[in-house]
Amino acid sequence: MRTITTKRSPLALAVFSATVALGSTQLVLAQTDEGAGDQPTPQRASIQAPVIEEVLTIGRLQSSADSIVDERLEQAFSADVLGFDQISRAGDADIASALGRVTGLTVVDDQYVYVRSLGERYSTVNLNGASVPSPELTRNVLPLDLFPSTIVKTLKVQKAYSPDLPATFGGGNVNIRTKGMPEDLVFDVSVGTGWNTVNSDDGIFYSGGDIDNGVPAELSQAITLYQGNITTNDIAQSIVGQGQAISSEVRAQAQQINRDLMLSLDRNVEITPQSLDPDYGGKVSLGNSWYVGDDWSVGGLANLSYDHQWRNKNQTTQGIGNPDQVNSEIQRTSEESRTLASVSGGVSFQEMHTIEASLFYITDIEDRAVISRGYDQNNQESDGSQILDYQTRYEERRLTIGQFTGDHNFEFDLIDAIDEVGIDWYYSDSRAETAIPSEVNITGSNVVDPATGEVLQTRLQSTTNMTTFGFLQLEDNVTSYGYDFELPMNFGDNVLTLTAGYDYSDKTRAYYGYTAAINAPGVSSEALAGTPGEVLGDENLGNLDYNFDLTMDPGLGTESYIAAQKTDAAYAMFDLNIDYTWRLTGGARYENFRQALLPVNMLDYSGSYLEAQIEDLENNPENFIVEDESWYPSLALTFMDQGFMGADDFQIRASMAQTVVRPDLREMSEVQYLDPDLDVRVEGNPNLEFSELDHFDLRTEWFYPGGDNFTISLFYKDIVNPIEQARVPGSDDSILLTYYNAESGEIYGLEFEGLKDIGAGFFVSGNLTLSDSEIVSPEGQGFTNTVRRMTGQSEYVMNAQLGFDSEDGMHTASLLYNVFGDRVYYAAVLDGHDDAFEQPYHSLDLVYTFYPTDTLSMKIKLSNLLDQDREFEQVNSGGESVNILTQEQGVGMGLDFKYSF
């Protein structure tokens, strides 16, 4: 077993030594409330925020902002908090959209957040303080669009590391805190519809897919019977025995068996035009709480939501080397439906002891059809030869989460300094499942008239892998639990809080995949002429005069694997508040991380592959097993003042910390995944190493009456072995991305954030992040630029909002603008071209809400009013800027009606 040891700077030793020394003099320290589900405990005599004068405001957003100022002020480490009212005001339907408005955050693929321009692998996402698995094949963090905003109580984004958080901390930690036991009766019902301008053109559709398909029983049995060798020749050889002559009768028998297996596949893949319906969906929430006697209260809350949409996601691509001759038009239509059901219940005793249980069940089903038409070096428009590829893909993702949390406060009268002790705990058991029971890829071509572009003939290609059928199953199981102890001590105007805690996480994964292929070398043009539905029909494939042959693709048979991760963690913190003026917070976290990953060849029945793996495991265990144990320190100093520059509250925080970012199992497995949003393939790298980070943060905040506030932040991160994304050298018309370790990296920036009431019911708010970065890649590996910006890093990110609240409270409106600067999409390798960049994207949204009564509301949202597309550009070796990928976005329109009791 390989043990990775991490060198620590004097900062680590100093903070750890200080923690031990303070403990020996009975200076104790406290957790933040983050450790056990992030449930605030107002009764606890921990550090209290300075008293804030109550200000009544009519503005819905400003008043909701006031409601979370206390929590933001109480944070010892820099954090941003969004409440449900703020999210609702902006018209954000899911968590990903809401987080896109937080300072320094950008949303990628409408699902993942980049915190301070660091990719999603550098950020962690927790649900009520617990880690949960991702059902997404290409990412190691939760796709945040899975969670509707209606279940959110608050979203907390912590950008400066504290030891009560997982040590896998890069850009930040996002904690989704869901609504629990309500205080009063809750009954909300909403229905909505929507449309997007990219749907104005007809889409495409096929009637296959379905979760019940999967590997046909006949094929599964044949794979076992013939040990993965199901070609006509292999079956015939199996019948007569190895090395024996094959008669014509046996060959005919084998051919019929092979053809029957071929016909058992789901070939209902004819793609036809489809008129796209409007989006539709609905949500309902129901809950209440009841007092049982004088001391006890019980309550529960249930949420159900459903959303359905059709969407065209058309693309254009150009080959970087010769864009005039290598290009394509890709027509993509997806149908997506998403369901969330959640229920939570709890019991509270004297508001000193609370136990809650929650269950979440989320499904996300996507069915899509793709037709790609284009040209390459061998198929030129001038020759009348056009490439024609088809794809159908059905994918179902499921996420099941069960959680228990407890918050307990025990009063003590032993000494004057100690009033109570707090204990928090959580237990979470979750499962993520992804099933692709049917992914069909078909290669074909068109004969076109070079003069008019008219299609004269369509046929499938006479090649191996003419049609492939992919079957995939992924299951992740994560069990995690932890507890925290908090001991606050009051010494007049000084408060010292000691915190200690423990966390455990156990993750297992099974990834299994098969690929069957129909080979067609030598098949006559007559048999291949026509559309997929015609060529793959029963009559055509059932004709034994046509030499189609079914095989299992051995190259993809080795892409299955099983894996496990375990993490034991413990931490200790102290938090010393001196006269509500100075606050010193520090501590350290110890983590013992273990990981094992074992590739599996689903088509190996000889045992030789397994024997080779066992031998390799014995001789080179570092290829399969990794262990990392280390300490991760953090230290923060805060100065607080009331009245500085006319502010009700002023704070300045400085912090520094050390953390680690470990590559996920997806990134370390030699498996190719399809990025469903951009339709490019991504491959893992088993040689990735951990990234080590040093963090330095400085944040200054001013809070004024009525909700006005202003914040300035500086940050710097130094990274050893940063994980970056590069393009695998290949043909100009296919993009395959992979991961690698750069030698070093750094990122630094300046953040501004503020909200200002400008009168007459109007206010402005916004944030701006200016940053830069540098990555140093290894020499001699063919990188075009060994020194460049980090992947995903934008030199600027800006959010701006102009809001209006009518005096009678019946109308609210927001004009929302977001833009990010160009960012590196991938590093160019071995081709002489420059790195690829995603171009700036300007988003302008308008949200209007009408409240005719206290219980009814109507919301209208217009999104992407500038009708901008996503564009990716790259400069080739000849100095020409090429638009390598463009994806339509369209203008969105939504209408929602809501009833709240």
pLDDT in tens, 704-747: 887 788 999 999 999 999 998 888 775 445 678 888 999 999 99
The mean-pLDDT minimum among 378-392, 406-420, 701-715, 806-820 falls in 406-420
Query: Counting Cβ atoms within 10 Å, is residue 359 exposed (0-12), middle (13-18) or buried (19+)?
Result: middle
| Among the listed residues 340, 335, 397, the one whose alpha carbon sits nearest the alpha carbon of residue 364 | 397
Q: Which residues contact 584 (CB under 8 A, 6 or more apart)?
A: 574, 575, 576, 578, 635, 636, 637, 638
pLDDT of 803 above 80:
yes
Q: What is the mean pLDDT of residues 302-327?
A: 92
pLDDT at residue 678 in the model: 67
pLDDT at residue 742 in the model: 93
pLDDT at residue 67 in the model: 53
pLDDT at residue 33 in the model: 37
pLDDT at residue 447 in the model: 93
pLDDT of 675 above 80:
no
pLDDT at residue 12 in the model: 33
pLDDT at residue 894 in the model: 94
Q: What is the mean pLDDT of residues 241-256?
A: 92
Query: Counting Cβ atoms within 10 Å, is residue 879 exposed (0-12), middle (13-18) or buried (19+)?
Result: exposed
pLDDT at residue 665 in the model: 81
Is residue 651 a contact partner of residue 583, using CB atoms and an 8 Å limit?
A: no
The pLDDT tens digits of the residues spanning 273-285 come to 989 999 999 999 9
Using pLDDT thresholds of 50, 70 and 90, give the confidence band for residue 612: confident
The pLDDT tens digits of the residues spanning 491-500 come to 888 999 999 9
The mean-pLDDT minimum among 31-35, 93-97, 277-281 falls in 31-35
Q: Which of 400-404, 806-810, 846-850 has the highest mean pLDDT?
A: 400-404
Please tell me the distance from the alpha carbon of residue 4 to that of residue 721, in angstroms, as a whole number. Answer: 13
Answer with the residue of higher pLDDT: 473 or 95.
Answer: 473
Average pLDDT along the chain: 85
pLDDT at residue 725 in the model: 86
Both tokens of residue 641? 């003042």
The pLDDT tens digits of the residues spanning 506-525 come to 999 998 888 999 999 989 99
DSSP state at residue 555: H
What is the percentage of the chain residues whose pLDDT exceeds 90?
A: 53
The mean-pLDDT minimum among 173-182, 277-286, 775-784, 826-835 falls in 826-835
* Phi-psi category of residue 867: left, alpha or beta, with phi > 0 → left and psi -120 to 50 → alpha: left
Using pLDDT thresholds of 50, 70 and 90, give the confidence band for residue 677: low
Q: Which residues contact 743 (CB under 8 A, 6 or more apart)?
A: 721, 776, 777, 778
Is residue 96 a contact partner of residue 108, using CB atoms and an 8 Å limit?
A: no
pLDDT at residue 367 in the model: 93
